Amino acid sequence: MKRIGIDVGGTNTDAVLIDGDTVLAAVKFPTTTDVMQGVVNAIGKVMDGQAADAAPVDAVMIGTTHFTNAVVERARLERIAAIRIAMPAGASLPPMIDWPEDLRSEVNALSFMVEGGHEYDGRPLVPLDRAAVRDAAMKIRDAGITSIGITALFSPLTTECEDEAAEIVRSVIPDARITLSHTLGRIGLLERENVTLLNAALQGLGGRTVAAFGKALKEAGISAPFYLTQNDGTVVLAEVAAANPVYSFASGPTNSMRGAAFLTGLKEAMVIDVGGTTSDVGCLVGGFPREANNVVEVGGVRTLFRMPDLLPMALGGGTIIDPQTGRIGPRSVGYRITEKALVFGGDTLTTSDIAVAAGLIDIGDRDRVKHLDKAFVSEMLKRIGAMVEDGVDRMKTSAEGVKVVAVGGGAALIPETLKGVSEVVTVGHAGVANALGAAMAQVSGEVDQVFSGLSREEAVAQAETMARQRAIDAGAQAGSITLLDTEDIPIAYLPGNARRVRVKVVGDIAFAGR
């Protein structure tokens, strides 16, 4: 299958063209201000050498930082409405109580708290106040808001209140974009509500981004279906991703991790993705990124949903070094490295300049860093090594040495030997591992919810059936779906043999006509 993988980062845009497991072309160039034109340029460059009668591209996979950047920058977010179904128990902390003030002001939410929801054992807390939901919907409609997040108390146990509230809202606002919390988050009310409201604020941007990518592909002469990469190292059909943009928050690092697995064949390893601005340290488990089981902050907002377990470090190819003090970072020249770094004729000392002076990489004009003192260069490399060792140590789960795969445009900054590491693995095409990971990604389906009134075997089987269907809905080929991970935890304080079951499946993309 011929595929194009593209990863749009804050510093560089990478693209690869692959056929099966063979890399036909790979390019890396600075991200342009006009991101979509950069995508068109990337496709044009990887397709340049293709014969006129070559087989067409079957699919395009795109990783983008659009959505997480929108949250971090407090830009391009829609005004939203929040409906919390948890009264009278959930009145003490209103929606978005823990959001940063500037982000809360940006979304300018209308909030409503109504009676309803369930107890921890699945019993109704109080009956759903349907009249209050309808009244809220009319006020939301009158305010001109179409992006709505609905969260009910313990909805992962039973979705009844959220589903019914959504029906009421749609009867008043037919064109509403509604995010239901049980489809995204886990049991914790505030964290689940937070990710629901972030998703609601981003759905408009999700639709516009997918439409813009579609237009860019058409302009590049590509008619194949396209997918967006997700936080778990898989892909999903673009129109599905547009409805759940939060699932693409950490797609860049996870693309790199999947690319590292593809390039090395390793299923269990630590991966360091060194970009232009930051480095991300993560772990491969079964060939996929290890998931975080705790709260993850996004733009200052606490969330608890499907996110990779990553440790970001302020170390990248464009990281600024103070020549007087030797301080490394945290600021970076970012995508302006080709005009700011010393080796490119600029006036800013970066880690790339140190790497060139040490003979680790050959970019720009080496004569421009000949004046750097060798002792200073050596000291900077030691400090960079210490930063990496600290990051690896913080992510390890045992004292044993681990294999570390270095990928990304700044992979040359990773020392050949590290304390606590059995081997530092370097591979060809490491600089475009993120685009390769996007191109090689599979489609996933996941279920993480509480089942009761069923035996363990019945609960796991039901969860697997649901996960398989979600994978098919996301674009997976039914016959290729395999079980990746199963976890079930009995919940002693709930009746009916209740247990939390998490099932994840993956499958190959169902290419049209194949």
DSSP per-residue codes, 400-462: S-EEEEEESTTGGGS-S--TTEEEEE--TTGGGHHHHHHHH--EEEEEEEEE-SS-HHHHHHH
Decide if 162 contacts 150 (C-beta within 8 A). yes
Residue 91 sits at φ, ψ, to 5 deg, of -90, -20
Name every residue whose Cβ is closer than 8 Å to that of residue 375 and which is 6 or more positions away in sequence: none
More confident position, 45 or 376: 376
Percent helix, strand and coil across the chain, each to the nearest 5: 35, 30, 35
Query: What distance lies between CA 344 and its chain's CA centroid?
Result: 32
pLDDT digits (tens, 9 = 90+) for 399-434: 888 999 999 888 999 999 899 899 999 888 888 999
For CA atoms 263, 239, 160, 472, give the dihedral sign: negative
CA dihedral of 400, 406, 407, 412, whole degrees rounded to 10: 160
Q: What percent of the chain has pLDDT over 90?
A: 51
- pLDDT of 291 reads 85
- Give a yes or no: residue 272 inside a domain: no
Q: Which residue segment(s) compose the domain that 446 sits in? A: 442-507
Euclidean distance between CA atoms 490 and 146, whole angstroms:
39
Q: How buried is residue 362: exposed, middle or buried, by Cβ count under 10 Å (0-12/13-18/19+)? A: exposed
Residue 45 pLDDT more than 90?
A: no
Euclidean distance between CA atoms 448 and 424, whole angstroms:
35
- Give a yes or no: residue 89 inside a domain: yes
- pLDDT of 195 reads 95
- Give a yes or no: residue 231 inside a domain: no
- pLDDT of 237 reads 86
- Give a yes or no: residue 301 inside a domain: no
- Give a yes or no: residue 10 inside a domain: no
Mean pLDDT of 483-508: 85
- pLDDT of 512 reads 59
Euclidean distance between CA atoms 439 and 55, whole angstroms:
17
Euclidean distance between CA atoms 60 and 44, whole angstroms:
13
Residue 446 pLDDT more than 90?
A: no
- pLDDT of 104 reads 93
Residue 514 pLDDT more than 70?
A: no
Decide if 155 contacts 181 (C-beta within 8 A). yes
- pLDDT of 257 reads 92
- Give a yes or no: residue 141 inside a domain: yes
pLDDT digits (tens, 9 = 90+) for 61-91: 998 878 888 888 888 899 999 999 999 988 8
Residue 295 pLDDT more than 80?
A: yes
DSSP-H helix ranges across 180-323: 189-219, 238-243, 251-264
Pairing of strands 421-425, 402-407: parallel
Give the 3-state secondary structure of 35-47: HHHHHHHHHHHHH
For 335, how many CA atoms within 13 A lie in the half-sphere containing its CB? Answer: 16
Give the C-alpha distances (Å, rounded to integers) separating 164 from 100, 114, 168, 451: 31, 13, 6, 20
More confident position, 369 or 188: 369
- pLDDT of 297 reads 86
Angle in degrees, 0-180, between the axes of helices 130-142 and 160-172, rounded to the nearest 10: 40
- pLDDT of 379 reads 95
Most confident stretch, 29-38, 166-175, 202-211, 274-283: 166-175
What confidence category does residue 355 fall into, taking pLDDT thresholds of 50, 70 and 90?
Answer: very high
Mean pLDDT taken over the chain? 89
In this predicted structure, which of 191-205, 268-282, 439-453 has the lowest mean pLDDT? 439-453
Among candidate residues 179, 202, 225, the one where a domain is terminated: 202
- Give a yes or no: residue 424 inside a domain: no
For 77-170, strand residue ranges (E) read: 80-87, 110-115, 147-152
Residue 513 pLDDT more than 60?
A: no
Among candidate residues 202, 221, 249, the one where a domain is terminated: 202
Residue 128 pLDDT more than 90?
A: yes
How many domains are contained in the chain? 2
pLDDT digits (tens, 9 = 90+) for 225-259: 889 998 888 888 888 889 999 998 888 888 999 99
pTM: 0.84
Decide if 58 contacts 2 (C-beta within 8 A). yes
Name every residue whose Cβ is closer than 8 Å to that of residue 168 and which is 6 or more positions away in sequence: 130, 133, 134, 137
- Give a yes or no: residue 133 inside a domain: yes
Residue in the block written with tokens 């140590």 = 393
For CA atoms 97, 99, 105, 109, give the dihedral sign: negative
Euclidean distance between the first and final Cα of the chain, in Å? 10
CATH of the domain at 162: 3.40.50
- pLDDT of 43 reads 86
Among candidate residues 162, 180, 202, the one where a domain is terminated: 202
